Amino acid sequence: MNDTTYDVRIWKKIEVYKGKRKTTHTVRWRVATQEFREPHSTAAMADSFRSDLVAATNRGEAFSLTTGRPASWARAEEKAVSWFSFVRDYVDAHWNNASAGHRLDRAKYLTKATMAMLEEQAPGKPEDQVLRAALRNWWLNRTHRERDRPTEVDQALKWLEEHTLPVKRLEDPVVARQVLTLATTKFPESGGGSLGAKAATKSKRILSHCLDFAVEHGHLAANPVSYHRNPAGAIKWKPPKVNHQVDKRSVPNPQQARRLLDAIGTEGRSGHLLRPFFAVMYFAGLRPEEAVNLLWSDVTLPEYVWDAQGQEWIVPESEWGEINVREVAPDVGRRWTDSGQQRDKRPPKGRAEGETRPVPCVPLLSRILRDHRAAPRQGPDGLVFFGERGHQLATSTYAKVWRKARRRALNPQEFASPLAERPYDLRSACVSAWLNSGTPPRQVAEWAGHGLDVLLRVYARILDGSEDESRRRMEGGFDGF
Q: Are residues 54 and 118 in the same domain?
A: no
pLDDT at 58 over 80: yes
Tell me what pLDDT residue 187 has: 80
For residue range 224-263, list pLDDT tens digits in order.
988 776 666 677 887 777 777 788 889 999 999 999 999 9
Angle at 134 between CA 126 and CA 203, to 5 degrees: 110
In this prediction, residue 473 has a pLDDT band, given cuts at 50, 70 and 90, of low
Q: Which of 376, 309, 385 is nearest to 343 (CA)?
A: 385
User: Mean pLDDT over residues 165-193, rounded?
Assistant: 85
CATH code (residue 390): 1.10.443.10
CB 403, CB 264: distance < 8 Å: no
Q: How many CA atoms lie within 13 A of 252 on its CB side?
A: 26
Q: How far apart are CA 156 and CA 173, in angstroms?
A: 28
* Count: domains in the chain: 3
Q: How far apart are CA 178 and CA 117, in angstroms?
A: 9
**DSSP E strands: which ranges in 158-244?**
none
Q: Are residues 375 and 435 in the same domain?
A: yes
Q: Is residue 237 part of a domain?
A: no
State which of 23, 56, 79 marks the end of a domain: 79
pLDDT at 289 over 60: yes
Higher pLDDT, 460 or 147: 147
State which of 63, 79, 95 marks the end of a domain: 79
For residue range 337-379, list pLDDT tens digits in order.
988 888 988 887 766 777 889 999 998 999 899 999 988 888 8
Q: Are residues 403 and 261 in the same domain?
A: yes
Q: Are residues 50 and 126 in the same domain?
A: no
pLDDT at 110 over 90: yes
For residue range 63-81, list pLDDT tens digits in order.
988 888 898 877 655 557 8
User: Mean pLDDT over residues 30-47, rounded?
Assistant: 85
Q: How far apart are CA 61 and CA 55, in angstroms?
A: 9
Q: Is the pTM of this model over 0.75?
A: no
State which of 216, 238, 261 marks the end of a domain: 216
Q: Are residues 113 and 54 in the same domain?
A: no
Q: Are residues 75 and 91 in the same domain?
A: no
Q: Are residues 74 and 93 in the same domain?
A: no
Q: Is residue 241 part of a domain?
A: no
Higher pLDDT, 157 or 459: 157
Q: Is residue 225 part of a domain?
A: no
Higher pLDDT, 191 or 265: 265
Q: Is residue 345 part of a domain?
A: yes
Q: Are residues 292 and 433 in the same domain?
A: yes
Q: Which of 343, 349, 361, 403 is nearest to 276 (CA)?
A: 361
pLDDT at 391 over 90: no
Q: Is residue 239 part of a domain?
A: no
Q: Is residue 229 part of a domain?
A: no
Tell me what pLDDT residue 404 has: 94
Q: Are residues 68 and 13 in the same domain?
A: yes
Q: Is residue 281 part of a domain?
A: yes
Q: Are residues 341 and 354 in the same domain?
A: yes
Higher pLDDT, 409 or 39: 409
Burial state string for 226-238 with b = 16 or more CB within 10 A and e = fewer than 16: beeebeeebbebe
Enclosing domain of residue 120: 83-216
User: Mean pLDDT over residues 431-459, rounded?
Assistant: 88
In this prediction, residue 479 has a pLDDT band, given cuts at 50, 70 and 90, of low
pLDDT at 30 over 90: yes
Q: How far apart are CA 40 and CA 26, in angstroms?
A: 6
DSSP H or E run through 36:
strand 34-40
Q: Are residues 128 and 163 in the same domain?
A: yes
Q: Which of 469, 448, 247 is nearest to 440 (CA)?
A: 448
Tell me what pLDDT residue 120 has: 77
Q: Is residue 227 part of a domain?
A: no
Q: Are residues 312 and 362 in the same domain?
A: yes
| CB-count exposure of residue 277 (10 Å: 0-12, 13-18, 19+) | buried
